[in-house]
Structure 1
């Protein structure tokens, strides 16, 4: 008989970290890994419950279960090591593609001032690589599109800024650069944690 337990925020956070750490695994293997770990946590939580223990008493048991499981990065690394050689190479090669994607997205914004057409080409190629990446989650990709799209799109509308008074123009450019830098730093951090 299976006991239905309410979701636990600590366990859900752990599973989200594991999903991010395993983002470069093939989708089927990643789903299987997450299902196995989720199932293990549910079974261990059910076994740890005694009688009608209060739900808030579940947190220490969940923390102990997660300590036994280990670091999500290590679990993902072990799953990656179990992949056939071709899949392992593909997972490792995605890091290079992700670096190229970030470089092109940033270059798209920077090159606008020098070569507008080349800027759009670089940004579009970077965008395609970003969207095809298996390392970043859907929310990372959305942040990448929103954050880096601001550079070419807003900078191409610089003619609108020209009519702005000086302080507003400076403020708009600084805000734009801050968004692009924040997005880039966020994506680089997520890549390093993968």
Structure 2
């Protein structure tokens, strides 16, 4: 069983490296390439290649993932992978995080800034609906935590404000980390 797990790890590591190298390919070509290599490995394993050494030999015969991708791009134009977040996505996230803290200056400025951030968030194609909802609720959830600490535990204002900031920052960081690049067409 341990030998099989080691072989599986080798294959998984190889396929992960191949997927990383192939990220610049159009989605259809990338999927086709990965499926072809997976099928080749599966055929070799079905033919009796089970030991770690046999799997290493199969992977070595296939070649390095960078070489496979180079051969697959022969005659193709590489597609640049767009960044996860564009400048206005950073502005949206910044407004969602910072606008609530403008309440001490002006309620109108805080609310307008937050609403603009919400509009930018919901019009972006970088997040799923779930993450847009989480971004929308980051200010209310942070405020609810601070209010709960104050109401139920009579926590000092500093602790309540720190908890509010911590929740808001954590949700905003999660929002940024879960942004996705737009889908590429093949």
Name the TM-score, length of structure 1 as normaliser.
0.56
Alignment partners' CA distance in 2, 1:155 and 1:65: 53
**Structure (1/2) with the larger helix percentage:** 1
Instruction: Point out where structure 1 has 5 or more consecutive residues left out of the alignment.
Output: 50-54, 132-140, 189-194
The Cα shift of 1:178 comes to 3.4
Alignment-derived partner of residue 75 in structure 1: 68
The Cα shift of 1:75 comes to 3.4
The Cα shift of 1:24 comes to 4.6
Alignment partners' CA distance in 1, 2:119 and 2:137: 13
Alignment partners' CA distance in 2, 1:172 and 1:178: 10
**Counterparts in 2 of 1:119 and 1:22: CA distance versus 1, 3 Å:** same
CA shift digits 1:8-27 (9 cap, x unpaired): 34313432443354345333
- CA-atom RMSD in angstroms: 3.9
Q: Does 1:163 align with 2:147?
A: yes
Q: Does 1:10 align with 2:10?
A: yes
Task: Choose 1 or 2 for highest CA Rg.
Answer: 2
Alignment partners' CA distance in 2, 1:73 and 1:186: 27
The Cα shift of 1:60 comes to 2.5
Match of 2:54 among 55, 61, 67: 61
The Cα shift of 1:34 comes to 1.3
Name the TM-score, length of structure 2 as normaliser.
0.58
**Counterparts in 2 of 1:123 and 1:23: CA distance versus 1, 3 Å:** same
**Counterparts in 2 of 1:46 and 1:14: CA distance versus 1, 3 Å:** same
> Aligned residue pairs: how many?
154
Alignment-derived partner of residue 94 in structure 2: 110
Alignment partners' CA distance in 2, 1:70 and 1:176: 47
The answer as to whether partners of 1:17 and 1:72 remain within 8 angstroms in 2 is yes
CA shift digits 1:134-177 (9 cap, x unpaired): xxxxxxx79xx64x753432214555345243424423432442
What are the within-5 Å matches in structure 2 for residues 82-121 of structure 1?
A: 82-83=75-76, 85=77, 88=78, 91-92=79-80, 94-96=81-83, 98-100=84-86, 103-112=87-96, 113=99, 115-121=113-119
Alignment partners' CA distance in 1, 2:44 and 2:60: 12
Alignment-derived partner of residue 136 in structure 1: none
